[in-house]
Structure 1
Amino acid sequence: MASSGTRFPAIIVIDAGGTVIAWSRAAEELFGYHAAELLGRPGSLVLPGNLPPGDQEQWYDLVEARHRDGGTLLVGVAGSRLTPLHASAAWLLSVTPATDEGFRRAAGVLEPIIDHSPVAMALWDRDLRCVWLNNGARRLRSVFPHYEIGRSLAEPLPGTDTEAAQEVMREVLADGTAMIDLEELFVSADQSEERILSTSLFRLDGVDGRPWGVCSVALDVTDSRARRRLTLLREASIRIGTTLNVQKTAQELADLAVPALADYVTVDLAEAVLPADEPLQRLAATDVSIPVFRRAGVASIHEGIPESLWPLGEPVFVPPSSPFTKVLTTGRSHFERVLDTSPGTWLDQDPDRAEIIHGTGMHTLIIVPLRARGEILGITVFVRTDNEAPFTKDDLLLAEELGARAALSLDNARRYTRERTAALALQRNLLPRRLTGSAALEVTSRYLPAGLHDAVGGDWFDAIPLPRDRVALVVGDVTGHGINAAATMGRLRTAVRTLTYMGLPPDELLAHLDDLVVRLTEEDAGPDGFPLDPTGATCLYAVYDPATRRFTMAGAGHPPPALVTPSGEVRFPRPPSGTPIGLGLGAYRSLDLELAEGTLIALYTDGLIETRTADIEAGIDRLGAALSQATLPLEDFCSTVIRAMVGEEHAEDDIALLVARTRVP
């Protein structure tokens, strides 16, 4: 089999008929063919099969590709439609060897985590052949020997009947409906061991919707306690971490554990996780108690929660000698099967807690640290009052698993909030604070960050005055989200301004910008030769000359501008299609138009027109209707258009809108 040492993904562009129209240097290195050998020839020479499949906008698949030397190699192929708004589609294919270090690195991060899980997990391909399994599955080979890499469920083995399992898996593959909690008795070949396994099956789909295989998740429920544990853990996966909100996640943990595990549960977080206006270190400590946490979640079987000394959001005081402090310091859980309330314990220093414990009948206690990525975020406390059964070691294990799951969700929420805040601040500081269209244009803009479930992106806009009252208008969208995308946006905006001042026409400016981004990406490559943060962007750049009323524009994979004539007619002129910035492929061409005086120009990013339920064409139709309000003042007009497109809900993606109206002399 041929192998590849390419540093970057191989980029191939094919037209609607499957003919190769662009072939990058990385593709030459990966497949052994020079561009001259494949340009104008069918892409199926190296990528067999129906690529791209159907009319999808994006897709991904694993393909056994052909190398020039006659060998084969397994590659991942990600396809994106380059010209979704044009009658003749072209496709950008990004091809990466499935044996690359990046794939192995990702697996190396995940497998140690999954292997510590008591749940047996396995992946089966479309032929029901086992292609991956964790240690939990390996431990069940005595009763289910098909848990072995490369072994098919259809392979007959002594004492094992998998007909029912094959039938269920094929149903899951066929219709995509998950099968949950299928219980079955399994007996070892020598009849010495039997186990009841609760198995759930989920179909694995690529982004193109085609199934890759099936994931099986099995838990040994031979013991009834394992059944209860499975039920609660299944609930935890559904109910904890439904949002990227720290307080809500903490409350979800408390609500889940009451009354399934405990009668009273609190979740107290460190100040770094749940900051407030008044820092804890500024609060007055008593002789025996200091403020350590803030209460983030609390639940009880009793109305009014009489067990809690502190309401949500308030600082929680603990004695330095208490088990709460010990758990925070050591990172180890505290377990008291029978809560010791006798004289001489730490409760002597905490009379308020002692009174609550005696008054509510608390008799058994578990305190679990909330640890994520090596950092302790806080503690969660489990207590029983009305339930007379003391906690067991199994209850401690269950509490620790719930705490571990919640801690990861809490840490994700914390990191998301911090990164979003930082990225949004950076984004707003990098965007122009004051736009001017000089004497040629009246200009205004709006930037709307994505909603709670998406990070801030790299959308930007600019209006750049030029000599002779000309004005350059630009709008762009950096790939990815978060603070890196915002920083990249700032670099690109600066580069565009620099190239603009050089007096380059739109098509040449985009070509120089594309070349610059490719070189920056190569310079940022890590020790393994792969870019640490591959950069790409779409962009629309235009120049308006009031003397001739000429509007010259060029696009790099970006939605077309909208033009509204003084009579109210809306149209979307589409410049010759160009590849996105950063691929190093495209030659760009300009489109030259003459605008009537008083014409309104709207440049925008795809967040304004594209949603998860509607494509770009449908969004453009909706935008055309929204632009019919062009008679409004520009400031009001921007708000009206965005409200018409996204309503009062949070936007699914960042939105940048730049609006200009040609001035009448």
Structure 2
Amino acid sequence: MTGPEASTDTEAVTDGDTTASVADAATATVDARGIVSGWSAGARALLGYRRSEIVGRPAARLLAVSAPLPDHVAQALRTLDERGRWKGTVTLRHRDGIPLDVPLLAHPRTARDGAREWLLVSRPEGSALDPAHDELDAELLEQSFAQSPCAEGIYDTELRLRHASEGVERVMGVAEKDIRGLRLSEFAPGPVADDIERHMRLAVETGEAQQLELPTRMEGHARELVWSLSIAPMRAADGRVRGVIVAAHDRTRQYVARQRLLLVNEASTRIGTTLDVGRTAQELADVSVPLLADFVTVDLLPAVTDGGEPPPGPLSGEVTLRRVACGSVLEGCPELVIPLGETAVYPRSTPPAKSLSSGKALLERVTEPGTMSWASQDPDRAATIRAFGFHSTMAVPLRARGTTLGVATFSRHRRPDPFEQDDLLLAEEITARAAVCVDNARRYTREREIALALQRSLLPAALPEHVAVEAAFRYLPTDTGAGVGGDWFDVIPLSGSRVALVVGDVVGHGVRASATMGRLRTAVRTLADVDLPPDELLTHLDDLVTHLSAEAAGGRGAGAEGESGGEIDGEISGDVGATCLYAVYDPVSRRCSVARAGHPEPAVVSPDGGVEFLDVPAGPPLGLGGLPFESVEVELAEGSLLALYTNGLIESRERAPDETLAALRTALARPAAPLEDICDTVLGSLLPAHPADDVALLLARTRALGTSQVVTWELACDPAIVAEARRNVSEQLALWGLEEAVFTTELVVSELVTNAIRYAEAPIQLRLIHDGSLICEVSDGSNTAPHLRRARVSDEGGRGLLLVAQLTQSWGTRQGAAGKTIWAEQTLPVEIG
């Protein structure tokens, strides 16, 4: 840096630096152009130039050699910036013309105007300080040890103390004369002293310095101190080790600060590992003990743990809190007064209530008057405070996003040092982190409960009793952070005593997936009422999912964020997709028709225990559109077991797919066992403790209707056959003991058979099914379906189906491969007695 101009020479460095304290120290500055910009009195004494004769002139004129410069000097100038400092000897020319070899130190630096410059410093060899300073130097050398800011002790090779600094006297609380000649283990006995002496012995024996950091409690100090020790051997002129010096530096503040930083870092990784409110609160307690407190409790507002919404803002007066977590340095948390899960009322004078009222963290010393106030309101708590010796406490409110969730209380009763303001700041830091995690868990729990409630309302609470199958199910929502999925199942009664078995899985999780699942389940039930074959039903369902995806895409394009597009209910709207398996079982023919859309294959367990997976063409997942679905029809023995499930059951990170399917085979190979037991066995064998996805499982054991329950007649296409049909039906009902149903059944048969003969084609077939109700079916070769209408007064016909609809419980039409079937079902009277 360039110094101010001056007209006279002084002993000060003229570039504005501090005054030179040594007369023979020569300093000068040179700017980036090689021009001298500063000149000291020591420089004038060395080379004889006055300031006015050299400042502003090239520094090269000071060199005793003419250009080109000596190689070592030129190289030093070129590389000065890179090396940071240069040291060497340069031959300079005195003002009288005499060359001088000058030892030189050159330092690059930045001037006040931002330019680069060099500070040159020289103290010629052979110069010495004022002899008058020698006595002062000796005194300073002696006092430097005695008054060293660190605690220093000199020990001989037998580790006996020879000299001690004033720092040792301050730390140990004894004078040097009282401990001189003693070993450390003799005037400060204990494990710490033994450890230090072990390192001192190593320094004496190996001649190598030792480093040691250790915490210790010392008499006269309230808190634990952390010392950093440097142990170095002391050598004689001949190199022999004559003793050892021990220098101890108090690093307590640095150690505590480092521990606090480590605690904050640990809190950021250990708190909030799950989306469980209680677990998150416990993680806060676990992190805080023992690094910060001896005993920690976490109490939350009951609304937080009950899934409700806590009141906004700070609380006032008495506060009711629920204990959700605790941690202690003592095993089993014996200090705990309020058991986990229980609620308690905190009076307004207690630290938790005061903290929640002010909305700020609170630090208090535990005093006897304060304990007495506890005793009048909560004797058990006061007794615990006295029994364990609580002496310092902090209460920190858990607040996140402007909402008060609860309070964390930190206490000390084993560590003698009380909490400090820095401890309160640390408690606030980790509690704030925990509060956000607790709030996230609370929000997730609330949303998950909403999704679960929605899904439970959309899934069947119980399966209907059906003549075709005996069924059981299991549904397990995932308990991971992904949220509730869109798995569903159903058992749908169909005409002709048939039954439809359905299992599906909507892509995604959360409320949106549950709502979509409900729409698809409703659609499947509606399509099932039309009696569509499985492949055709999936085709119609695929169209519906395609339309739903188009609606979602249109909403994202047209709506604003928070309405139709963007984030909705904590979920990102996306394409709708699903998989589905639809099976129809006929107990009369014992045939089962199955089709699937990207869904896992069903398993069939034969009555003898054999397990196979039906080879059903996979078909694309619903929503891709334009691709066909295929049905497979198989005949099942009575008592066979059908197992339908979602992919959450068989997708495993621990097992290979083949191993998972083998485990499923083993779990299902108990066809005679109760279905509920088989469900439990399957889930227990295949699922981990915390499934990663929702799981739906539907088991159905097939039944068959024999000749005693089903009668069929082939009819000619002749109106005269109607009377014969009525007669056959009457006789069969008499055999079944259903004489009360004869009149109605004859009317139904007359109408359906007459319509078939008049409007349809051969072949015509009449079938009666007795399965708890009475079903009358008439099949023909025509695909034209009749329509129910009201006849006018002048009409001669058109009242037949209206009559059938009024006389029976339900009626309908289903299409078949070679025509149609019109059916009507009657509810039979219940026999009493």
* TM class by smaller structure: 0.5 to 0.7
Matched residue, 1:563: 604
Task: Pick closer, same or farther for the CA change 1:612–1:302 going to 2, 3 Å.
Answer: closer
Is contact 1:552-1:590 (8 Å) kept?
Answer: no
Cα distance in 1 between the residues matched to 2:336 and 2:669: 58
Matched residue, 1:268: 299
Matched residue, 1:458: 486
Cα distance in 1 between the residues matched to 2:256 and 2:633: 74
Match of 1:246 among 265, 269, 277: 277
Matched residue, 1:587: 627
Matched residue, 2:577: 536
Deviation at 1:398, TM superposition (A): 1.6
Cα distance in 2 between the residues matched to 1:349 and 1:330: 24
3-state SS, counterpart of residue 651 of structure 2? coil
The answer to whether structure 1 residue 642 and structure 2 residue 683 are counterparts is yes
Cα distance in 2 between the residues matched to 1:312 and 1:634: 38
Matched residue, 1:231: 262
Higher RCO, Cα 8 Å, sep 6+: 1
Match of 1:424 among 442, 448, 452: 452
In structure 2, what residue type is equivalent to 1:464? I
Task: Pick closer, same or farther for the CA change 1:448–1:305 going to 2, 3 Å.
Answer: closer
Cα distance in 1 between the residues matched to 2:424 and 2:370: 26
Say what the alpha-carbon RMSD is for the aligned residues: 4.0
Match of 1:255 among 270, 279, 286: 286
The answer to whether structure 1 residue 554 and structure 2 residue 604 are counterparts is no
In structure 1, what residue type is equivalent to 2:592? F
The answer to whether structure 1 residue 449 and structure 2 residue 490 are counterparts is no
The answer to whether structure 1 residue 435 and structure 2 residue 463 are counterparts is yes
Deviation at 1:238, TM superposition (A): 4.5
In structure 1, what residue type is equivalent to 2:301? A
Deviation at 1:565, TM superposition (A): 3.4
Count of residues paired in the alignment: 438
Match of 1:660 among 700, 725, 738: 700
In structure 2, what residue type is equivalent to 1:448? L
Cα distance in 2 between the residues matched to 1:351 and 1:464: 61
Is contact 1:542-1:551 (8 Å) kept?
Answer: yes
Task: Pick closer, same or farther for the CA change 1:289–1:318 going to 2, 3 Å.
Answer: farther
Deviation at 1:243, TM superposition (A): 4.5
Task: Pick closer, same or farther for the CA change 1:318–1:602 going to 2, 3 Å.
Answer: closer
Is contact 2:607-2:637 (8 Å) kept?
Answer: yes
Matched residue, 1:103: none
Cα distance in 2 between the residues matched to 1:503 and 1:561: 21
Cα distance in 1 between the residues matched to 2:614 and 2:545: 27
Matched residue, 2:671: 630
Cα distance in 1 between the residues matched to 2:412 and 2:627: 71
Residue deviations 1:356-382, cap 9 Å, x none? Answer: 667755454432111223311101122
Cα distance in 2 between the residues matched to 1:384 and 1:641: 51
3-state SS, counterpart of residue 654 of structure 2? coil
Q: Percent identity?
A: 50
Deviation at 1:514, TM superposition (A): 2.5
The answer to whether structure 1 residue 382 and structure 2 residue 410 are counterparts is yes
Deviation at 1:605, TM superposition (A): 0.9
Gaps of 5+ in 1: 1-157, 160-188, 191-221, 282-287
Task: Pick closer, same or farther for the CA change 1:575–1:326 going to 2, 3 Å.
Answer: same
Cα distance in 1 between the residues matched to 2:617 and 2:371: 83
Is contact 1:602-1:659 (8 Å) kept?
Answer: yes
Deviation at 1:593, TM superposition (A): 1.9
Is contact 2:580-2:597 (8 Å) kept?
Answer: yes
Task: Pick closer, same or farther for the CA change 1:306–1:501 going to 2, 3 Å.
Answer: closer
3-state SS, counterpart of residue 478 of structure 1? strand
Deviation at 1:261, TM superposition (A): 0.9
Cα distance in 2 between the residues matched to 1:270 and 1:403: 16
Matched residue, 2:515: 487
Is contact 1:270-1:294 (8 Å) kept?
Answer: yes
Residue deviations 1:306-362, cap 9 Å, x none? Answer: 7655343333333325553343234322245x6687799998986867776677554
Match of 1:501 among 496, 517, 529: 529
Is contact 1:562-1:573 (8 Å) kept?
Answer: yes
Match of 2:434 among 388, 406, 417: 406
Cα distance in 1 between the residues matched to 2:289 and 2:374: 25
Matched residue, 1:511: 539
Cα distance in 2 between the residues matched to 1:596 and 1:344: 78
Match of 1:295 among 319, 323, 326: 323
Task: Pick closer, same or farther for the CA change 1:629–1:413 going to 2, 3 Å.
Answer: same
Deviation at 1:613, TM superposition (A): 1.9
Cα distance in 1 between the residues matched to 2:702 and 2:423: 71
Cα distance in 1 between the residues matched to 2:375 and 2:338: 20
Cα distance in 2 between the residues matched to 1:319 and 1:662: 65
Matched residue, 1:209: none
Deviation at 1:496, TM superposition (A): 0.9
Cα distance in 2 between the residues matched to 1:343 and 1:462: 64
Cα distance in 2 between the residues matched to 1:433 and 1:364: 54
The answer to whether structure 1 residue 474 and structure 2 residue 502 are counterparts is yes
Deviation at 1:577, TM superposition (A): 2.9
3-state SS, counterpart of residue 368 of structure 1? strand
Deviation at 1:257, TM superposition (A): 1.3
Matched residue, 2:646: 605
Cα distance in 2 between the residues matched to 1:596 and 1:358: 76
3-state SS, counterpart of residue 538 of structure 1? strand
Deviation at 1:460, TM superposition (A): 1.2
Task: Pick closer, same or farther for the CA change 1:398–1:579 going to 2, 3 Å.
Answer: farther
Cα distance in 2 between the residues matched to 1:439 and 1:342: 77
In structure 1, what residue type is equivalent to 2:694? D
List 4+ stretches of structure 1 deviating above 6 A: 339-351, 353-356
Which range moves more in the overlay, 638-647 or 608-617? 638-647
3-state SS, counterpart of residue 585 of structure 1? coil
Cα distance in 2 between the residues matched to 1:341 and 1:492: 68
Is contact 1:268-1:316 (8 Å) kept?
Answer: no
Task: Pick closer, same or farther for the CA change 1:428–1:294 going to 2, 3 Å.
Answer: same
Cα distance in 1 between the residues matched to 2:634 and 2:414: 81
Cα distance in 1 between the residues matched to 2:702 and 2:577: 31
Deviation at 1:450, TM superposition (A): 3.3
Cα distance in 1 between the residues matched to 2:628 and 2:351: 67
In structure 2, what residue type is equivalent to 1:410? V
Which range moves more in the overlay, 395-404 or 564-573? 564-573
Match of 2:661 among 604, 620, 628: 620
In structure 2, what residue type is equivalent to 1:562? A
Is contact 1:362-1:384 (8 Å) kept?
Answer: yes
Cα distance in 1 between the residues matched to 2:524 and 2:468: 20
Deviation at 1:538, TM superposition (A): 1.3
Task: Pick closer, same or farther for the CA change 1:396–1:498 going to 2, 3 Å.
Answer: same
3-state SS, counterpart of residue 515 of structure 2? helix
In structure 2, what residue type is equivalent to 1:268? D
Cα distance in 1 between the residues matched to 2:337 and 2:607: 67
Task: Pick closer, same or farther for the CA change 1:369–1:487 going to 2, 3 Å.
Answer: same
Cα distance in 2 between the residues matched to 1:484 and 1:319: 44
Cα distance in 1 between the residues matched to 2:534 and 2:471: 20
Is contact 1:566-1:596 (8 Å) kept?
Answer: no
Task: Pick closer, same or farther for the CA change 1:549–1:309 going to 2, 3 Å.
Answer: closer
Task: Pick closer, same or farther for the CA change 1:631–1:344 going to 2, 3 Å.
Answer: closer
Cα distance in 2 between the residues matched to 1:303 and 1:661: 53
Task: Pick closer, same or farther for the CA change 1:508–1:253 going to 2, 3 Å.
Answer: same
Deviation at 1:465, TM superposition (A): 1.7
Cα distance in 2 between the residues matched to 1:291 and 1:328: 8
Cα distance in 1 between the residues matched to 2:378 and 2:606: 77
